[in-house]
Amino acid sequence: MGSLVRRYYLYRASLSSGFYVPVSVVYMESRGLGLPEIGLVQGTFLFSMVVWELPTGYLGDRLGRRTALALGSVVTVAVMAGFALADSTLGFAAVYALWAVAWTFKTGTADAWLYELLASGGDEDEFSRITGRADSTLRLVSGGAALSAGLLYTLDPALPFLANAALAAIGLPVLFTLPRTHGADGRGPEDPDDGVPSSDEDPSPDRDPSPIGVREAAGVLREQLSRPSIRWIVAYAALFNLVFSVTRVFEQPAMRSVGVPVAGLGVLYAGFKLVSAVASSVTGAVHDRLGTRGVLFLLVPVVGVTYGAFALLPVLVVPALFVRRGLQRITRPVRTEYVNDRVEDVGRATVLSGVSMALTLVSGTGNVLGGRIAEAVGPVRFLSTVGVVVSLAGGILWIGTRPIRDAPADTAAS
């Protein structure tokens, strides 16, 4: 099992996007795309994720988890090579649409494979420890890759993408040394000792114990979203998800506008990884201290003050980006736990998927519409304005609707 787990760590490391993320937007700018076009192609990625979520999940169930992961790695290699070749808005939009396919193939599948493998030997209690170490390995590799991204870009703008293609390719031979799991691959395991009970569902607590039909799923989603305890937290989360998403898209032009060199972007992104890791490690303690209501209310003052500050002093956009990552890393799991606690087991995956799709669609729309505004007023001023306006709207929503409610069960009445 020890050798198997090490290979799993190596595979997870191959999922890093650390080489390309720190220079992805400045690279598109160097290829002649303006901020409206960049917002459009980034929105294409998010919209494509919504479109492909169900088809790739179906294919993953039919083909098996390991095969789905392999397809995700193959498509990722093609995407990274496509970045190096693309030189138009249409070309980058096609690359991002394909990137969404790779992303949806891999989302949650690696963890599901690991859980099933551990459960086959009665070692499922090891899941949190192993996934935690796998995530740490991924962050470590991503941080190291980010440090070199700026230097590679200065040597040749295509090099970070080719390096990420090579990293993704490493995952393919590693994958085929890992055993299949029984139910998801449609046949018995390669090694009888690696067998698990037949299951085509993600075993994480966020998923349904059994699938439901499309009509039933629509009914469950409509019923759950009519409840104030779900409806208003989704609206509240969508506001701040919009801020976080447009910030991620336009942060590189914003940093460049305040004097950060391309070579320095990789260093900052490595720092972002460190802040995210630290924030993840203290999320439980912060939640225990402030409670769900206190943690989620933090979004209003922290976003308002942080984004308002760099309206007055633009260079403060750099520390604001660190704050954004820490804040998002702490609040996201607290929000997910809140929703989980307020939906029943049957339909849980449907509700969580519906919430995720809603947030993704809002973010994608913000990216597409925001690009033209950012081009007109400048990325720093645009991000500051969005942050302050959303903070004010979030405060009004918090007071007017009480999005965090104590009772797990409530009626559809507001």
Confidence at residue 214, expressed as pLDDT on a 0 to 100 scale: 57
Confidence at residue 153, expressed as pLDDT on a 0 to 100 scale: 94
Superfamily of structural domain 212-405: MFS general substrate transporter like domains (1.20.1250.20)
Q: Do domains 1-204 and 212-405 have the same CATH topology?
A: yes
Compute the distance between CA of residue 100 and CA of residue 175 in angstroms, rounded to an integer.
21
Architecture, CATH, for domain 1-204? Up-down Bundle (1.20)
Confidence at residue 185, expressed as pLDDT on a 0 to 100 scale: 41
Confidence at residue 412, expressed as pLDDT on a 0 to 100 scale: 45
Confidence at residue 215, expressed as pLDDT on a 0 to 100 scale: 66
Confidence at residue 167, expressed as pLDDT on a 0 to 100 scale: 94
Compute the distance between CA of residue 407 and CA of residue 410 in angstroms, rounded to an integer.
7
Domain ranges of the chain: 1-204, 212-405
pTM: 0.82
| pLDDT averages per 10-residue partition of the chain, 414 residues | 83 91 94 96 92 76 82 92 93 94 78 76 74 82 91 94 94 87 42 31 36 62 78 93 95 96 93 88 89 94 97 96 94 86 66 81 93 95 97 96 71 46
- The secondary structure of the chain, three-state, reads CHHHHHHHHHHHHCCCCCCCHHHHHHHHHHCCCCHHHHHHHHHHHHHHHHHHHHHHHHHHHHHCHHHHHHHHHHHHHHHHHHHHHCCCHHHHHHHHHHHHHHHHHHCCHHHHHHHHHHHHCCCHHHHHHHHHHHHHHHHHHHHHHHHHHHHHHHHCCCHHHHHHHHHHHHHHHHHCCCCCCHHHHCCCCCCHHHCCCCCCCCCCCCCCCCCCCHHHHHHHHHHHHCCHHHHHHHHHHHHHHHHHHHHHHHHHHHHHHCCCCHHHHHHHHHHHHHHHHHHHHHHHHHHHHHHHHHHHHCHHHHHHHHHHHHHHCHHHHHHHHHHHHHHHHHHHHHHHHHHHHCCCCCCHHHHHHHHHHHHHHHHHHHHHHHHHHHHHHCHHHHHHHHHHHHHHHHHHHHHHHCCCCCCCCCCCCC
Asked if residue 358 lies in contact with residue 222, where contact means CB atoms within 8 angstroms, the answer is: no
Q: Give the Cβ contact number of residue 301 at 10 Å.
A: 12
Confidence at residue 293, expressed as pLDDT on a 0 to 100 scale: 93
Confidence at residue 197, expressed as pLDDT on a 0 to 100 scale: 31
| Tokens 């669609």 belong to residue | 361
Compute the distance between CA of residue 31 and CA of residue 162 in angstroms, rounded to an integer.
16
